[in-house]
């Protein structure tokens, strides 16, 4: 049977909220905003991960294993040999690359239409004469039926496929159906021979897919020629996932920052929803409502508010995520892998998680005020001071817990000196710890500012300041939210600026040539193309060129998994543009040129615990071979790590004489533009797809990619501040709604509307100023932890710490501006409300 008293309580609660729509809206908006940002980042992150997985699955099909080679891939004759061997397992050749059709990038995958059926069960509709057409029509391709329909293409239509090497005409031979969105939106299928031709990889395969029964692996591996390896298909996907892991962790950290800001806002909204009804709760207690009933009523109400708020947050989160996904996939495309899916994939799991986070934060936020309201004596519940009195008492305890969290964070970093997750844990402990110090710091700040304000702006200065320091239950969470948001901005901005400065310096030191000539990339795995030897010779002999360097950048297998190798040959030894971290071997340059020493980049050394003097095994054309590590150099080009070796040694080990980039250094006094014109002229005549860039352009391009990489971080930062601003507006409104009677009294004794508006604005400015000033030490601390701990552990990069005074001033201005924006509506509202209304009893 339903408790009749409970029904009455629920009615009283419901009517209170519907008669005070502002309170209701504030609570729902606070919860909605807090959860929206978390859901948005989580959705974006999970969409990018799913897109990555689907893209990998699209390429892998149902293969269990793959035969892979070195930088030049696999010779196609290996496939023929493998296939013709009696009792050989099902196998299929694969060559793939990225092409552009219209405005969109697609993965073009070459398969054996007759032999790949078992592998491409995910692509339906490959029968019906399509196979024949793929085989006999030159440049025949297939795409998914929905994509063909979107593009308005029908069988037999011609399309132009562009890739870095030039444009090719292809014919749509048919369509397939697939459940994989990556394949549906971004896959083109062609016969292997057509694909090789379109991608400029005639005679070569990326890999051979195999379906092996358990126990067959060893026999197949043993039968492979030297320079080829058998690997499980899943290993490729896992390696890819590892590749972007740090990036995703970085995004997750930003979402946690948003969650933290959101949690403060939810806490604010919920405490207001409870505190503003203290008189009602007092009356209920007076008429016999028990503590338990009151506690359950408040928590039940929080549950409902949380549900509604989180649903609002879900809608908002999906909308924000729609805007973020493009930025995230672009970054992944820039840095890691060509994703063919770039739409938002709304995952029910993420939404459920967001719902749990929103509800959890709401209930946790409601717990403290609900417990406090339920435990107080009826007469106390009706008094506001009853809330603030214990609040001042717990400031010391909060500060102690805050300091305890700092100590814990330090301990965590010491106990786990390399792991990333504890580093984030420590970072968040520091942020939460500092937030707990905020009430105490506000009181201290109030003591400092009080005499000044009393002298400069009596009596409103004192009123404004006391309004903050004597209502800490309301103002401290709001200021803490703004402090954390602005500190996050300061921390991340210093980190980005430090990183940017470091990369700029590194580029200036590393890019020692004046002109760079590079071959177009030719596949989705970014295997660099090759420059024509005759063209290189011609360019190297140009008048005005004093020195040259030749390079080839490829991906090879190391004992620690796939690694990029940069093979360099320089005519001018100079300092070679390397800066080393720690000691180097004595015979560094001699050993390097002799071909038995390699250099490893800092991220590689960090990830795999490699140091100068250690051994490193790489899989060459003749199998595994060992090199000596000569030193660890600073490199910010790849977070996956880079191994540098002498080009002739590389060419011998991988039987690959190709060069993919050429650097030209001008003789002193030569005019760059004149030599550039000569280079461009020769390139245009023989290989128009080859790219020519001046040193300054390459640097500018690198910085452009850098800035694009951090676009998402900047957006998330702004989102966190935006949430905090709206939170502050909510907090101010709540504060002022609560004080309307006090304002009525002030108006009655002669404060003008203008003075009332000024009081609100001054109070808000003080809140902004306090938040801005408090954000500086926290922001600096966050920046140091991001640079010295988090980014080092995530990516293995040592960065300089560059702290610009304008950036710090901007942070304070941001907090002030945010608070000022937040004050406008409450100031307008309070100033225009007649005192008779505010003084009227409820």
Partner 1 sequence: MEDNRPFGRPPPPLRYPMDQHDTPNDPAAATVTPVAARGLTKHYPAGKTFKTVLDGVDLTIAAEESVALLGRSGSGKSTLLNLLAGIDRPDDGELILLGRPLHRLAEGDRTLMRRRHLGFIYQAFNLIPTLTAAENVGLPLELNGWSRDATTRRVESLLAELDLHQAGDAFPDRLSGGEQQRVAIARALAHDPALVLADEPTGNLDSVTGGHVLELLLARARRGGQALLVVTHSLAVARQADRMVVLEDGRLTAGGAELAW
Distance (Å, rounded) from C-alpha 645 to C-alpha 598? 5
Interface stretch with partner 1, choices 230-238, 601-609, 648-656, 829-837 (CB under 8 A): 829-837
Distance (Å, rounded) from C-alpha 633 to C-alpha 584? 9
> Taking CB under 8 A as the rule, does residue 371 contact partner 1?
no
> Taking CB under 8 A as the rule, does residue 830 contact partner 1?
no
Which of 315, 389, 667, 705 forms a contact with partner 1 (CB under 8 A)? 389
CB of 439: closest distance to partner 1 in angstroms?
A: 16
User: β-strands 187-191, 104-111: how paired?
Assistant: parallel
CB of 474: closest distance to partner 1 in angstroms?
A: 12
Which of 455, 615, 625, 696 forms a contact with partner 1 (CB under 8 A)? 455
CB of 354: closest distance to partner 1 in angstroms?
A: 39
Q: Which is nearer to partner 1, 171 or 380 (CB)?
A: 380
> Taking CB under 8 A as the rule, does residue 156 contact partner 1?
no
> Taking CB under 8 A as the rule, does residue 458 contact partner 1?
yes
> Taking CB under 8 A as the rule, does residue 677 contact partner 1?
no
> Taking CB under 8 A as the rule, does residue 835 contact partner 1?
yes
> Taking CB under 8 A as the rule, does residue 742 contact partner 1?
yes
Which of 383, 576, 581, 714 forms a contact with partner 1 (CB under 8 A)? 383
Count interface residues toward partner 1 (CB under 8 A): 32
Interface stretch with partner 1, choices 363-371, 487-495, 702-710, 738-746 (CB under 8 A): 738-746
> What distances in angstroms separate CA 229 from CA 59, 124, 567, 593, one per listed residue?
18, 31, 22, 28
Residue 130 tokens, joined: 């399509």
Which of 219, 356, 508, 748 forms a contact with partner 1 (CB under 8 A)? 748
Which of 353, 384, 693, 829 forms a contact with partner 1 (CB under 8 A)? 384
Which of 160, 414, 700, 836 forms a contact with partner 1 (CB under 8 A)? 836
Q: Would you say 643 and 599 are in contact if contact means Cβ atoms under 8 Å apart?
A: yes
CB of 465: closest distance to partner 1 in angstroms?
A: 8
User: β-strands 140-144, 166-176: how paired?
Assistant: parallel
Q: Which is nearer to partner 1, 14 or 754 (CB)?
A: 754
Stretch 210-269 residues interacting with partner 1 (CB under 8 A): none
Among the residues of 287-384, which ranges form H helices?
Answer: 291-335, 348-375, 378-381
Which of 150, 385, 626, 800 forms a contact with partner 1 (CB under 8 A)? 385
Q: Would you say 725 and 483 are in contact if contact means Cβ atoms under 8 Å apart?
A: no
> Taking CB under 8 A as the rule, does residue 686 contact partner 1?
no
> Taking CB under 8 A as the rule, does residue 452 contact partner 1?
no
Q: To the nearest 10°, the Cα dihedral for 639, 645, 650, 653? A: -90
- 786 closest CA partner among 246, 324, 245, 37: 246
Interface stretch with partner 1, choices 318-326, 348-356, 466-474, 550-558 (CB under 8 A): 466-474
Find the angle CA(805)-CA(806)-CA(810) to the nearest 5 degrees.
120
Residue 337 Rama label (left phi>0; alpha psi -120 to 50; beta) = beta
Stretch 78-137 residues interacting with partner 1 (CB under 8 A): none
Q: Would you say 276 and 20 are in contact if contact means Cβ atoms under 8 Å apart?
A: yes
Helix axes 740-748, 753-785, angle to 10 degrees: 140
Q: Which is nearer to partner 1, 255 or 376 (CB)?
A: 376
Backbone φ, ψ for residue 569 (5° rounding): -135, 120
CB of 399: closest distance to partner 1 in angstroms?
A: 22
Q: Which is nearer to partner 1, 411 or 834 (CB)?
A: 834
Distance (Å, rounded) from C-alpha 504 to C-alpha 508? 6
> Taking CB under 8 A as the rule, does residue 751 contact partner 1?
yes
Which of 229, 466, 579, 608 forms a contact with partner 1 (CB under 8 A)? 466
- 797 closest CA partner among 604, 525, 508, 528: 604
CB of 455: closest distance to partner 1 in angstroms?
A: 8
Q: Which is nearer to partner 1, 553 or 747 (CB)?
A: 747
Task: Give the sign of the dihedral formed by CA 346, CA 349, CA 355, CA 360.
Answer: negative
> Taking CB under 8 A as the rule, does residue 834 contact partner 1?
yes
> Taking CB under 8 A as the rule, does residue 283 contact partner 1?
no
Q: Would you say 359 and 291 are in contact if contact means Cβ atoms under 8 Å apart?
A: no
- 293 closest CA partner among 207, 366, 373, 356: 373
Distance (Å, rounded) from C-alpha 381 to C-alpha 373? 6
Which of 746, 771, 781, 782 forms a contact with partner 1 (CB under 8 A)? 746
Q: Which is nearer to partner 1, 389 or 705 (CB)?
A: 389
Q: Which is nearer to partner 1, 385 or 622 (CB)?
A: 385
> What distances in angstroms separate CA 385 from CA 271, 298, 571, one per listed residue?
15, 20, 80
> Taking CB under 8 A as the rule, does residue 177 contact partner 1?
no
Which of 88, 171, 382, 745 forms a contact with partner 1 (CB under 8 A)? 745
Q: Which residues contact 497 (CB under 8 A, 6 or more apart)?
A: 802, 804, 807
Q: Which is nearer to partner 1, 353 or 741 (CB)?
A: 741
- 139 closest CA partner among 185, 221, 195: 195
CB of 466: closest distance to partner 1 in angstroms?
A: 3
Stretch 753-812 residues interacting with partner 1 (CB under 8 A): 753-755
CB of 46: closest distance to partner 1 in angstroms?
A: 47
CB of 817: closest distance to partner 1 in angstroms?
A: 26
User: β-strands 65-68, 204-205: how paired?
Assistant: unpaired
Q: Would you say 730 and 265 are in contact if contact means Cβ atoms under 8 Å apart?
A: yes
Among the residues of 105-144, which ranges form H helices?
Answer: 130-136
> Taking CB under 8 A as the rule, does residue 829 contact partner 1?
no
> Taking CB under 8 A as the rule, does residue 279 contact partner 1?
no
CB of 444: closest distance to partner 1 in angstroms?
A: 17
Distance (Å, rounded) from C-alpha 469 to C-alpha 489? 25
Q: Biggest alpha carbon distance in the chain?
A: 103
Interface stretch with partner 1, choices 78-86, 259-267, 458-466, 622-630 (CB under 8 A): 458-466
> Taking CB under 8 A as the rule, does residue 747 contact partner 1?
yes
Q: Would you say 601 and 632 are in contact if contact means Cβ atoms under 8 Å apart?
A: yes
- By the criterion CB under 8 A, which residues form the site for partner 1? 383-385, 388-389, 455, 458-459, 462-463, 466-467, 470-471, 741-742, 744-755, 834-836, 839
């Amino acid at each position: 049977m339903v408790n009749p008293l409970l029904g009455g309580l629920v009615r009283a609660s419901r009517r209170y909220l519907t008669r005070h729509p502002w309170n209701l809206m504030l609570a729902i908006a606070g919860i909605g905003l807090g959860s929206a940002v978390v859901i948005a980042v989580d959705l974006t992150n999970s969409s990018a991960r799913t897109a990555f997985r689907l893209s990998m699955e699209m390429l892998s099909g149902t293969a269990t294993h793959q035969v892979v080679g070195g930088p030049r891939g696999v010779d196609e004759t290996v496939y023929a040999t493998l296939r013709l061997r009696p009792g050989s397992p099902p196998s299929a050749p694969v060559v793939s690359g990225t092409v552009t059709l219209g405005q969109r990038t697609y993965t073009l995958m070459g398969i054996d239409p007759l032999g790949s059926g078992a592998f491409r069960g995910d692509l339906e509709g490959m029968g019906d004469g399509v196979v024949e057409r793929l085989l006999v029509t030159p440049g025949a391709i297939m795409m998914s039926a929905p994509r063909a329909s979107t593009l308005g293409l029908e069988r037999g239509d011609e399309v132009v496929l562009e890739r870095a090497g030039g444009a090719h005409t292809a014919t749509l031979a048919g369509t397939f159906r697939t459940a994989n969105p990556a394949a549906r939106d971004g896959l083109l299928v062609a016969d292997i021979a057509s694909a090789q031709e379109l991608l400029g990889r005639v005679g070569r395969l990326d890999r051979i897919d195999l379906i092996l029964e358990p126990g067959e692996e060893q026999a197949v591996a043993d039968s492979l020629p030297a320079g080829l390896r058998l690997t499980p298909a899943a290993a490729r996907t896992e390696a890819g996932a590892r590749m972007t892991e740090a990036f995703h962790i970085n995004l997750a950290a930003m979402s946690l920052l948003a969650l933290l800001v959101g949690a403060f806002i939810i806490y604010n909204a919920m405490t207001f929803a409870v505190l503003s009804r203290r008189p009602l709760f007092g009356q209920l207690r007076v008429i016999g409502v028990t503590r338990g009933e009151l506690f359950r009523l408040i928590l039940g109400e929080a549950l409902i508010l949380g549900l509604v708020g989180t649903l609002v947050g879900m809608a908002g989160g999906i909308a924000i995520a729609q805007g973020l996904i493009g930025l995230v996939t672009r970054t992944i495309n820039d840095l890691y892998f060509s994703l063919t899916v770039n739409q938002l994939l709304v995952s029910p799991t993420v939404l459920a998680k967001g719902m749990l986070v929103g509800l959890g934060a709401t209930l946790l936020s409601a717990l403290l005020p609900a417990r406090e309201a339920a435990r107080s004596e009826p007469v106390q519940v009706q008094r506001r001071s009853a809330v603030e009195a214990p609040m001042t008492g717990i400031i010391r305890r909060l500060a102690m817990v805050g300091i305890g969290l700092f100590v814990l964070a330090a301990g965590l970093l010491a106990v786990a000196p390399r792991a990333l997750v504890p580093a984030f844990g420590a970072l968040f402990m520091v942020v939460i710890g500092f937030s707990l110090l905020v009430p105490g710091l506000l009181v201290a700040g109030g003591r400092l500012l009080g005499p000044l304000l009393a002298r400069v702006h009596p009596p409103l200065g004192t009123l404004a300041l006391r309004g903050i320091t004597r209502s800490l239950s309301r103002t401290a969470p709001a200021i803490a939210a703004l402090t954390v948001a602005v500190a996050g901005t300061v921390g991340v901005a210093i980190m980005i600026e430090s990183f940017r400065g470091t990369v700029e310096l590194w580029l200036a030191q590393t890019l020692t040539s004046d002109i760079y000539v590079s071959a177009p990339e030719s596949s989705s795995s970014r295997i660099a193309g090759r420059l024509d030897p005759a063209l290189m010779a011609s360019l190297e002999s140009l008048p005005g060129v004093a020195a040259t360097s030749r390079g080839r950048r490829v991906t090879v297998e190391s004992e620690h998994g796939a690694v990029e190798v940069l093979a360099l040959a320089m005519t001018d030894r100079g300092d070679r543009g390397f800066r080393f971290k720690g000691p180097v071997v004595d015979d560094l340059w001699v050993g390097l040129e002799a071909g038995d020493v390699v250099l490893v980049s800092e991220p590689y050394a960090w990830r795999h615990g490699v140091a100068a003097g250690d051994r490193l095994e790489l899989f060459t054309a003749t199998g595994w071979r060992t090199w000596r590590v000569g030193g660890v150099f600073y490199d910010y080009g790849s977070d996956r790590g880079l191994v540098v070796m002498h080009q002739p040694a590389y060419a011998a080990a991988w039987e690959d004489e190709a060069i993919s980039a050429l650097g030209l250094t001008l003789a002193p006094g030569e005019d760059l533009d004149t030599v550039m014109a000569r280079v461009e002229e020769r390139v245009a005549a023989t290989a128009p797809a080859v790219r020519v860039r001046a040193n300054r352009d390459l640097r500018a391009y690198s910085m452009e990619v850098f800035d694009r990489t951090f676009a998402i971080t900047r957006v998330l930062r702004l989102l966190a501040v935006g949430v905090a601003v709206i939170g502050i507006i909510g907090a101010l409104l709540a504060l002022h709604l609560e004080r309307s009677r006090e304002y009525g009294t002030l108006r009655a004794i002669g404060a003008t509307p203008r003075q009332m508006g000024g009081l609100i604005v001054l109070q808000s400015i003080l809140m902004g100023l306090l938040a801005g000033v408090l954000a500086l030490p926290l922001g600096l601390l966050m920046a140091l932890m991001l640079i010295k701990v988090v980014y080092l552990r995530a990516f293995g990069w040592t960065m300089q710490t560059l702290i610009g005074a304008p950036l710090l001033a901007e942070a304070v201005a941001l907090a002030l501006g945010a608070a000022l924006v937040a004050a406008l509506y409450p100031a307008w509202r309070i100033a225009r409300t007649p005192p008779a209304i505010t003084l009227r009893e409820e």
